[in-house]
C-alpha cells in the first residue's frame, strides 16, 4: 500500500482541523474539533493523522485501538475516544473530502501544435487538446472540454462543455457527447452495429447509418464499446455510469442514472430503464426491456425479448426474482443428492411393493376390496 499520508505530504497539503473539515462536509463535531488531520484514508489503512468513515458501531469500536485520528460517522453513532464528524451519509461526505485532499487533475487549456484539427471544426474557449489528437471536419468541441492525447473525434461530432475524453478514445462520425461527460481510455463510441442479412452464400452487411448520443454527466469506463444505431440513435442518458469493457449494441437505450458494471453486454434494441443497477458480466439478449430501479445480479443472463418490470431484484441465468433464483440455485446445488434420494425412494417403493404383494397373497384373500 502506498502511504496516503506520504502522498498528501508530498503534495504539500496543509493540515486541517477536524472542525475545518466538518465545515466542508456540513457535519457536526463530537469531541475535540482542534485535532489536526493531515490526510484521508480507507478502513484498510487507518494510519495516524488520517480521517476515514465508518457506517456501523461494530467498526467504530474496532477502530478504537487503531491510530486513526478522526472518523466520519452516521448521525446516529457516537461514543468514541476519537473526534467524530456526524453526517447523514458518511460515504458521500468521505468522497467529498477525498476530492478536497486530492483535487481533480487540471489540464493545460491549450491546444497542442502536434494535434490535427480540421479548419472546419469549431473549438470552444479554454479547450485542452493534447498531442496526436485528431479533430475532424465540422466537429464541435465545447468550452473547457479536454481532448487528451491521440483521441480521435470524427467528422460532425459534437462534444459538450467540460467533457473529458481520455487518451485513445475514438468517437466515430456524427455522434453527440453531452456536457461534463467523461470517457476513459481506449473506448470506442459509434462503431458499426453488428447487423447482417444471411444469404445461403454469405453475410450481407446492413449499413449502420445512425449514431450514438451520450447525455450530460455520463461516465464511460475504459475499453468500452457503444455501437451506433442502424437507424436513429443508441442513447446513453444523463448521469449513466458504465464500467470498463462493457458492450452496448446498436439502438439500445439506457435510462438516466443507470449503473452498468464491467464486462456486461447489452444486445441490440434493448431498453434499460432509469436508476437500474447491473452487476458485472451480465448478458442481455436483444429487445429486452428492464424497468426503472431494477437491480440485476452479476453474471445474470436475459433471453431475447424478456421484459422485467420496475423495482425488481433479479438474478441468475435466466434472470429471475432474487429470492426465487436463490431458492432454485440452492436446490440445484443438491442435484446429486436428489438423484441419490430418488434412487433410494425407488428401492424403498420396490421393497414396499414386495411387502404388499406378500400381504395380498395371503391364502384365501384376493386384492383390492374385490375379495
Asked if 204 is part of the footprint of a second copy (rule: CB under 8 A), the reply reads yes
DSSP secondary-structure letter at 104?
Answer: P
Name the minimum Å distance from CB 227 to a second copy. 7
- Residue 350 DSSP one-character state: H
| Site residues (CB under 8 A) for a second copy, limited to 72-111 | 89, 91-92, 94-95, 98-99, 101-102, 104-105
Residue 33 vs 89, nearer CB to a second copy? 89
Stretch that binds a second copy, among 21-29, 63-71, 76-84, 240-248 (CB under 8 A): 240-248
Identify whether the C-beta of residue 76 lies closer than 8 Å to the C-beta of residue 90. no
Instruction: Please answer whether residues 268 and 249 qualify as being in contact, where contact means their C-beta atoms are separated by less than 8 angstroms.
Output: yes
Q: Give the span between the Cα atoms of 26 and 156, in whole angstroms.
A: 45
Q: Is 157 helix (H, G, I), strand (E, B) or coil?
A: coil
- Pick from 83, 178, 239, 273: which binds a second copy (CB under 8 A)? 239
Q: What is the C-alpha to C-alpha distance for residues 284 and 8, in angstroms, rounded to an integer?
A: 43
**Closest Cα to residue 100, out of 13, 26, 10?**
13
Which residues, 6 or more positions from 271, have their beta carbon under 8 angstroms from its beta carbon? 252, 253, 255, 288, 289, 290
CB of 8 to a second copy, least distance (A): 10
Is 250 one of the annotated active-site residues of the chain? Answer: yes
Q: Please report, to the nearest 10 degrees, the dihedral formed by the alpha carbons of residues 320, 325, 329, 335 taken in order.
A: -70
207 touches a second copy by CB under 8 A: yes
- Binder among 17, 19, 55, 149 for a second copy (CB under 8 A): 149
Is 34 or 259 the residue whose CB approaches a second copy more closely?
Answer: 259
Q: Does 58 bind a second copy (CB under 8 A)?
A: no
Binding mask 252-271 for a second copy (x = CB under 8 A): -----x-x-xxx-x-x----
Residues 29-48 that bind a second copy (CB under 8 A): 40-42, 44-45
Restricting to residues 303-342, which ones interact with a second copy according to CB under 8 A?
317-318, 320, 327-336, 338-339, 341-342
- Give dist(CA 271, CA 273) in Å, integer: 6
Per-residue mark of binding to a second copy, 60-79 (x: CB under 8 A): --------------------
Nearest to 22 by CA among 47, 53, 43: 53
Q: 250, 257, 275, 287: which one is catalytic?
A: 250
Given 138, 299, 321, 322, the residue binding a second copy (CB under 8 A): 299
Active site residues: 250
Amino acid at each position: 500500500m502506498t502511504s496516503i499520508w506520504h502522498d498528501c505530504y508530498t503534495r504539500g497539503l496543509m493540515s486541517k482541523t477536524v472542525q475545518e473539515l466538518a465545515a466542508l462536509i456540513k457535519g457536526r463535531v463530537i469531541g475535540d474539533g482542534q485535532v489536526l488531520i493531515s490526510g484521508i484514508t480507507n478502513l484498510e489503512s487507518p494510519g495516524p493523522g488520517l480521517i476515514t468513515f465508518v457506517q456501523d458501531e461494530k467498526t467504530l469500536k474496532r477502530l478504537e485501538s487503531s491510530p486513526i485520528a478522526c472518523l466520519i460517522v452516521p448521525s446516529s453513532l457516537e461514543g468514541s475516544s476519537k473526534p467524530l464528524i456526524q453526517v447523514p451519509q458518511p460515504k458521500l461526505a468521505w468522497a467529498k473530502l477525498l476530492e478536497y485532499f486530492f483535487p481533480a487533475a487540471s489540464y493545460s487549456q491549450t491546444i497542442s501544435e502536434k494535434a490535427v484539427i480540421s479548419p472546419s471544426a469549431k473549438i470552444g474557449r479554454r479547450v485542452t487538446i493534447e498531442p496526436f489528437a485528431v479533430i475532424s471536419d465540422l466537429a464541435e468541441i465545447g468550452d473547457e472540454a479536454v481532448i487528451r492525447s491521440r483521441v480521435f473525434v470524427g467528422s460532425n461530432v459534437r462534444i459538450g462543455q467540460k467533457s473529458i475524453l481520455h487518451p485513445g478514445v475514438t468517437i466515430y462520425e456524427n455522434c453527440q457527447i453531452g456536457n461534463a461527460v467523461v470517457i476513459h481510455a481506449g473506448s470506442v463510441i459509434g462503431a458499426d452495429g453488428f447487423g447482417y442479412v444471411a444469404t445461403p452464400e454469405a453475410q450481407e452487411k446492413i449499413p449502420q447509418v445512425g449514431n450514438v448520443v451520450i447525455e450530460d454527466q455520463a461516465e464511460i469506463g475504459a475499453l468500452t464499446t457503444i455501437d451506433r444505431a442502424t437507424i436513429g440513435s443508441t442513447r446513453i442518458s444523463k448521469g449513466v455510469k458504465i464500467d470498463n469493457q462493457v458492450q452496448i449494441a446498436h439502438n439500445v437505450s439506457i435510462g438516466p442514472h443507470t449503473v452498468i458494471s464491467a464486462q456486461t453486454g447489452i444486445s441490440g434494441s434493448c431498453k434499460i430503464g432509469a436508476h437500474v443497477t447491473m452487476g458485472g458480466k451480465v448478458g442481455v439478449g436483444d429487445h429486452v426491456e428492464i424497468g426503472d430501479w431494477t437491480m440485476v445480479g452479476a453474471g445474470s443472463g436475459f433471453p431475447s425479448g424478456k421484459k422485467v418490470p420496475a423495482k425488481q431484484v433479479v438474478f441468475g441465468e435466466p434472470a429471475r426474482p432474487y429470492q426465487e433464483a436463490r431458492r432454485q440455485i440452492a436446490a440445484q446445488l443438491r442435484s446429486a443428492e436428489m438423484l441419490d434420494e430418488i434412487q433410494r425412494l425407488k428401492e424403498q417403493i420396490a421393497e414396499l411393493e414386495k411387502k404388499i404383494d406378500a400381504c395380498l397373497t395371503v391364502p384365501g384373500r384376493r386384492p383390492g376390496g374385490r375379495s
